C-alpha cells in the first residue's frame, strides 16, 4: 500500500484525474471523506500547506505539493517529478499608487510565507519586518498594515481587483510529486514505477 497526501481542491482533483488515466479506473473521494483506498493506494485529503508535514513524518509515503510550499517548509523530502499543474508565481507586490520605499530603515512585508520572504530580502540586504497573515494578504498594504506583500499570484485577478501591482517575481511554482526518504528506499520499486507512469502520461498529454 502506498499512502498519498493530496492538497484539497483543484490539484487533488487533477492528480486523481492522472491516476484515473494511468490505472483506467475512477479515483473519487465520496462526500466529505478524507481517506480513499483504491487499487493499492490510500489517498489522504489534507490542507495544501500540510502536505510536506504528512510526508516528512511518513504519515504519507508520497504527496503532491507546490514548489512554493516545499521551499517555505524547508523539510528534507525527495522531489520526484514536476507535474506541471497548479502553476503560480510567488511575487513581491505593492499598491499601484504607492511604491515600496526601500529607503525606510525597516520595510513591513505581509505574507503567509515568512521563510521565502526573509530569504529573498536578506539576499538583497534589505531589512524587513515580516507580518505573518493567514489569508487575504492583498488587503494589508491597502490599509497600511504593511508597505508591501509577498504572495501567490495565479491568474492575477486578486491583485488587479485590489489595485496592486507585481514588483518582482521571486519564483515560479508548480506542483511536484514528493516522497518521504525512508518510504523512497523501502518502497522504491513501487514509487519509481509510479513516477515513470506519471512521466510517460505527462509526456503523452504534452504531445497532444
Which positions touch ligand PRP (CB under 6 A)?
135, 137-138, 151-158
Nearest of 190, 202, 204 to residue 40 by alpha carbon? 190
In the bound complex, what is the minimum distance in angstroms from residue 138's beta carbon to ligand PRP? 6
Torsion of CA 81, 86, 90, 94, to 10 degrees: 170
In the bound complex, what is the minimum distance in angstroms from residue 50's beta carbon to ligand PRP? 12
Where b means 16+ CB within 10 Å and e means fewer, 174-207 reads ebbbbbbeebbeebeebbeebbeebeeebeeeee
SS3 110: strand
In the bound complex, what is the minimum distance in angstroms from residue 20's beta carbon to ligand PRP? 24
The pair phi, psi for residue 30, each rounded to 5°, is -95, 135
In the bound complex, what is the minimum distance in angstroms from residue 39's beta carbon to ligand PRP? 30
When the beta carbons of 44 and 91 are compared against ligand PRP, the nearer one is 91
When the beta carbons of 38 and 160 are compared against ligand PRP, the nearer one is 160
In the bound complex, what is the minimum distance in angstroms from residue 65's beta carbon to ligand PRP? 13
When the beta carbons of 88 and 179 are compared against ligand PRP, the nearer one is 88
Task: Dump the DSSP string for 131-160.
Answer: EE-SS-GGGGGGGTS-SEEEEEESSSHHHH
When the beta carbons of 107 and 150 are compared against ligand PRP, the nearer one is 150
When the beta carbons of 90 and 191 are compared against ligand PRP, the nearer one is 90
Amino acid at each position: 500500500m502506498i499512502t498519498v497526501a493530496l492538497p484539497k481542491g483543484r490539484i487533488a482533483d487533477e492528480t486523481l484525474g492522472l491516476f484515473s488515466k494511468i490505472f483506467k479506473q475512477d479515483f473519487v473521494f465520496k462526500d466529505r471523506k478524507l481517506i480513499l483506498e483504491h487499487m493499492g493506494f490510500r489517498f489522504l485529503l489534507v490542507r495544501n500547506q500540510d502536505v510536506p508535514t504528512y510526508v516528512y513524518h511518513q504519515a504519507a509515503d508520497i504527496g503532491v505539493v507546490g514548489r512554493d510550499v516545499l521551499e517555505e517548509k524547508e523539510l528534507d523530502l525527495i522531489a520526484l517529478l514536476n507535474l506541471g499543474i497548479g502553476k503560480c508565481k510567488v511575487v513581491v507586490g505593492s499598491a499601484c499608487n504607492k511604491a515600496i520605499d526601500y529607503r525606510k530603515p525597516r520595510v513591513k512585508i505581509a505574507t503567509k510565507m515568512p521563510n521565502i520572504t526573509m530569504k529573498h530580502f536578506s539576499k538583497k540586504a534589505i531589512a524587513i519586518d515580516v507580518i505573518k497573515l493567514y489569508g487575504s494578504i492583498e488587503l494589508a498594504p491597502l490599509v497600511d498594515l504593511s508597505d508591501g506583500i509577498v504572495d501567490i499570484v495565479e491568474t492575477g485577478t486578486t491583485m488587479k481587483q485590489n489595485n496592486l501591482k507585481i514588483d518582482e517575481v521571486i519564483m515560479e511554482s508548480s506542483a511536484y510529486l514528493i516522497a518521504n526518504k525512508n518510504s523512497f528506499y523501502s518502497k522504491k520499486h513501487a514509487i519509481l514505477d509510479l513516477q515513470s507512469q506519471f512521466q510517460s502520461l505527462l509526456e503523452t498529454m504534452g504531445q497532444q
